[in-house]
Structure 1
Amino acid sequence: MKKIIIYLLVIIASKSYAQELNLPVWTQYLADNDFVISPTYAGIGDNVRIRVNGLTQWVGIKDAPDNQSLYADFRFANRSGAGITLYNDKNGYTRQRGFKVSYAHHLILDYTSRQFLSLGLSYNLNSFKIDINEFEPDYENPVLDPYVTDDRAINNHNFDIGALYRNGGFYFSFNLNNILDKDIDNFTGIEPNGIRNYQIYTGYIMQSKTNKRVEFEPSVFYQLFGSDNRSSTDINFKYRKYNRKEDYYWLGVSYRFLNDQVLKPLNIGPMAGIMKSKFYFAYSYQVTMNDLVGYNSGTHMITIGFDFLQGLSNCSCTDGRVLF
Structure 2
Amino acid sequence: MKKIYLIVVLFVGLVSYAQQDAQYTQYMYNTMSVNPAYAGSRGVFSLSALHRSQWVGLDGAPETQTFNVNAPVSDKIGLGLSVVNDKIGPTSETFFDAMFSYSIETSRNGKLSFGIKGGLNLLNIDFDHLSRYQNEPTMIENNVNSKLSPNVGAGLYYHSDKFYVGMSVPNILETKYFDNESFSVAQEKMNFYFITGYVFDLSSSLKLKPAILTKLVSGAPLQVDVSANFTFNEKFTLGAAYRLDAAWSALAGFNINRGTMLGFAYDKEITELGNTSFNNGSFEILLRFELFNRYQKLLPPRYF
TM-score (norm 2): 0.86
Structure 2 residue aligned with 1:239, among 207, 225, 230? 230
Return the alpha-carbon distance in structure 1 between the equivalents of residues 294 and 180 of structure 2. 52
Aligned AA for 2:120?
Answer: L
Return the alpha-carbon distance in structure 2 between the equivalents of residues 62 and 190 of structure 1. 21
Question: Tell me, what secondary structure is at the counterpart of 1:19?
Answer: coil
Going from structure 1 to structure 2, the CA distance change for 1:176 and 1:312 (only over 3 Å counts) comes to farther
Return the alpha-carbon distance in structure 2 between the equivalents of residues 194 and 50 of structure 1. 27
Q: Does 1:279 align with 2:272?
A: no
Return the alpha-carbon distance in structure 2 between the equivalents of residues 194 and 86 of structure 1. 17
Match of 2:190 in 1: 196
Is contact 1:29–1:35 with CA below 8 Å preserved after alignment?
Answer: no
Aligned AA for 2:302?
Answer: R
Going from structure 1 to structure 2, the CA distance change for 1:65 and 1:233 (only over 3 Å counts) comes to same
Q: Does 1:219 align with 2:211?
A: yes
Is contact 1:45–1:319 with CA below 8 Å preserved after alignment?
Answer: no
Match of 2:22 in 1: 24
Is contact 1:108–1:117 with CA below 8 Å preserved after alignment?
Answer: yes
Q: Does 1:255 align with 2:242?
A: yes
Going from structure 1 to structure 2, the CA distance change for 1:12 and 1:255 (only over 3 Å counts) comes to farther
Match of 1:86 in 2: 83
Return the alpha-carbon distance in structure 1 between the equivalents of residues 60 and 2 of structure 2. 12
Aligned AA for 2:60?
Answer: D
Match of 1:262 in 2: none
Is contact 2:246–2:270 with CA below 8 Å preserved after alignment?
Answer: yes
Quote the RMSD (CA, aligned, Å). Answer: 2.8
Deviations 1:251-305 (A, max 9, x none): 1211112xxxxxxx21111010111222221111001121211131000111122
Aligned AA for 2:272?
Answer: D
Q: Does 1:303 align with 2:286?
A: yes
Going from structure 1 to structure 2, the CA distance change for 1:18 and 1:291 (only over 3 Å counts) comes to same
Going from structure 1 to structure 2, the CA distance change for 1:25 and 1:320 (only over 3 Å counts) comes to farther
Residues 152-191 of structure 1 mapped to structure 2, 5 A cutoff? 152-184=145-177, 185=179, 191=185
How many Å apart are 1:28 and its aligned residue?
3.4
How many Å apart are 1:56 and its aligned residue?
0.9
Question: Tell me, what secondary structure is at the counterpart of 1:110?
Answer: coil
How many Å apart are 1:215 and its aligned residue?
1.7
Question: Tell me, what secondary structure is at the counterpart of 1:77?
Answer: coil
Deviations 1:233-261 (A, max 9, x none): 00111111335xxxx2211211112xxxx
Deviations 1:73-112 (A, max 9, x none): 111112221111112221000011221111111111122x
Is contact 1:218–1:236 with CA below 8 Å preserved after alignment?
Answer: yes
Aligned AA for 2:26?
Answer: Q
How many Å apart are 1:312 and its aligned residue?
4.5
Match of 1:228 in 2: 219
Match of 1:128 in 2: 123
How many Å apart are 1:153 and its aligned residue?
1.6
Match of 1:63 in 2: 60
Question: Tell me, what secondary structure is at the counterpart of 1:292?
Answer: helix
* Number of equivalences: 297
TM-score (norm 1): 0.81
Could you list the runs of 5+ residues in structure 1 that have no partner in the other structure?
A: 258-264
How many Å apart are 1:202 and its aligned residue?
1.0
Is contact 2:176–2:188 with CA below 8 Å preserved after alignment?
Answer: no
Return the alpha-carbon distance in structure 2 between the equivalents of residues 192 and 37 of structure 1. 20
Question: Tell me, what secondary structure is at the counterpart of 1:230?
Answer: coil
Return the alpha-carbon distance in structure 2 between the equivalents of residues 131 and 200 of structure 1. 34
Match of 1:260 in 2: none
Is contact 2:34–2:170 with CA below 8 Å preserved after alignment?
Answer: no
Deviations 1:209-233 (A, max 9, x none): x32x4221111100000x3263110
Is contact 1:45–1:320 with CA below 8 Å preserved after alignment?
Answer: no
Is contact 1:46–1:320 with CA below 8 Å preserved after alignment?
Answer: no
Return the alpha-carbon distance in structure 1 between the equivalents of residues 42 and 3 of structure 2. 50
